[in-house]
Each structure stands twice: as C-alpha cells, then as structure tokens.
Structure 1
Amino acid sequence: MANSTADMRLSGGHPALDLANTVDSRRGRWGPDFLRSFEDLLVLADRLDLVDRQALARLRRQAENDPPKAGAALADALALREAIYRLFLSEDAGKPYPIADLRLVEDRARLGRTHQALVADAAGYRWTLPFDDLGEMAQLFAIKAVDLLIERGRRRAVRECKGSNCGWLFIDHSKGGRRMWCSDASCGSHARIKRFRSRLKGN
C-alpha cells in the first residue's frame, strides 16, 4: 500500500489525473491523502518529469525559507486537485463540467500562461514556467488539466475506477473503451477475488 506521492501508482495516464489521484481512496471511504506537504507536490512533479532538478531545488529552498507561503501554495494545489477530480468525474458520468470547477482550473491556467516563456532544449523549443514562485506548481497542473480538457474530442474518455475503496481517474486506452479499473493488477484483481468469494458463499 502506498504511503505518499513517492510510492503511489501513476495510473492516470496524464499528470492532471495523477494529481487528482493523490487521495488513496474516494469510493467507500476517503483517504489517506498523499499531498500532506508542499514537498509531496514537488515529489509528484519530479516523478512525472514536469520540472527539472534545478527548478526543484529552487522551489525546495523557497518552501523551506517561507513555510506559510508553502502552506498557501499547497492549499491552492489541493483546491485545484478537487476541482480537477470533479471535472473529470463528471466526464465519466456523461454530465456537463461543473462551471465553478471549470472556472477555477481556467483561472489558475490563465495565470500560469502569462508567466510562461519559450525556451530551447535538445528537442527544439518548448513553453515552460520560470518556477521562481511556489504558486506556479498549481498553475502547472492547471495548464495540464486545461490541455486535457481541450483534447477531449481527440482522445479516449476519462474513467473512474469502479474498484472498492478506489475511485481513481484514468484515460481509458482499452480497445473496446470499457476498462473499469485503474489497474488490473490491483483493483481488477481485488474485484475478481471478491466475486469468486461471493460465488463460493452462494453455493
């Protein structure tokens, strides 16, 4: 069982969904929460290759030197996480995106876009944030979430894992588009074992 963003599974198939999945369970029970500190957010961004090591070191120093600001940046990321979760949960349910959540994600992404700069790298050019402010971490994930929203007509659907005590979100890349589990090896396996035991009791 995972205990933090350092060892949680990255099953969402997209950074915005992996952020939403930083709550261990959302069905049957809620929690535990893997985002307990700003450092947890940095660890997740590092595992997703969203921020280079120099930027991570810079943000860590800022967080250590200004704990109240780090706490505020974490609170902003948590509010964004819940908005992202509700947006894509509604997609799985075939319902319109909640307007308040859409506006929150849009506002954070819009702010991040104003800070982006075009930089050269080995592959050519790319947009990136300067990462000189702790609030840019939430903005980064908001930009990723907006990108995922925009791609809706060109990608597979986002699903909610139907496993007991799960509720994680993932992009359904299955051939038939009917995948039910965030991970066949975990939630899928648990569901099959539960059905098997239920059949045994019924005999």
Structure 2
Amino acid sequence: MSLRLEANGFQVETAASGQQALGRISAWKPHIMITDLRMQGMDGLALFDAVQQQMPSLPVIMLTAHGTIPDAVQATRKGLFSYLTKPFDSNELLQSINDALSQCCPDGPEKTGCKEDWRSHIISRSSAMEKLLNKAWRIAQSDVSVLIQSQSGTGKELLARALHKASPHHDAPFVPINCAAIPENLLESELFGHT
C-alpha cells in the first residue's frame, strides 16, 4: 500500500503497530491516517479513540477483512472518516484519501496548518470544543443551513464566523444579527422590510 500511495504522490510514514503509531503521531503530524481494524495489541478502534484525544480533526480511514455492519456503524458514529472492507479497490481508497484531504486541507495537503486558519480567533484547549470544531469544519464544507443555540456569552457568533470562514462562501460578506437585541415587534421589519 505504501508503494502504491507513494506512486500517487503521497508522502507515507508507516508504523508496525497501533502503539507505535500513537507514539509517533505528534512528531509526524499527518494529514490523514489509514489503519486496520484488527491488529495485535491495540486494535483500530482503540487507536482511533486515542488519536481523537491528540488530533481530533485528523481524518481516519479504517480497513478491515472482518468488517460487519455494526462495526461500520459504530466506527462512523464515532467520527471515522471512511470504512473500507478488504480486499479494497485501490481507486476507492485513493478517492477516500482525496475526499479526506479536500475536507481537511482545501488548498492541498502540502499547506501545513491549513485547517487551523479558519478558527484562529477561537482559543480552546478543551477536547469537547475540539470535537465541536471538527464537526463544524465538516458541516462548513457542505451547503446546509446551520442553527446555533446556546446560552448568552458562550461564543455563538465566534462559531458562526468560523463556519463562514471555513465554508466555500468565505469571500462573501458575513452579516451577524443579534435577534435577541431587536424587539419582537421590530424583528420582522428589520429582516424583511416594513412595507
């Protein structure tokens, strides 16, 4: 697999086990991780859980010869990017890799730190916030409407700005509207006009 990926222009680093990969991931700083589900010692799901603690935004593709539908459902619910069964089609793997890279690095994988620019104004060390920002990034890549609800002062507008900055519409104007600050009888006129 390494030879095939390198032949397609990817820089590949390998590890002999999940423990070895986990120990070296912070030094490697990969843009994507591909792992097997069944491995001696730490299995693929345990590795994925541990990687999520260190790099919650890292896309992970899991390969397995022993895949079942419940395994795939459990893995994708946890946030796994892709789940491929062996023998896998090389083109399918390359497509999954390119899809993952286009989400995490829209300007190309060679641009280090590409994913961090859009959220540079949000300062956090919380793993829960990192998971939220990872989901926000993925949502921003699609063309859906987003409703952000939370208590006052929790950073709803910051998150909305980050979503806008990460979206394909980042060059368009961002117009924040604080609906709570507009009296109810004026809100409709403010948004849609009074005539």
TM range (shorter): under 0.3
Q: Which protein shows a greater Rg?
A: 2
- Compute the TM-score of the two structures, normalised by the length of structure 1: 0.26
Q: RCO greater where, 1 or 2, for CA within 8 Å and sep 6 or more?
A: 1
More helix by share: 1
TM-score by length of 2: 0.27
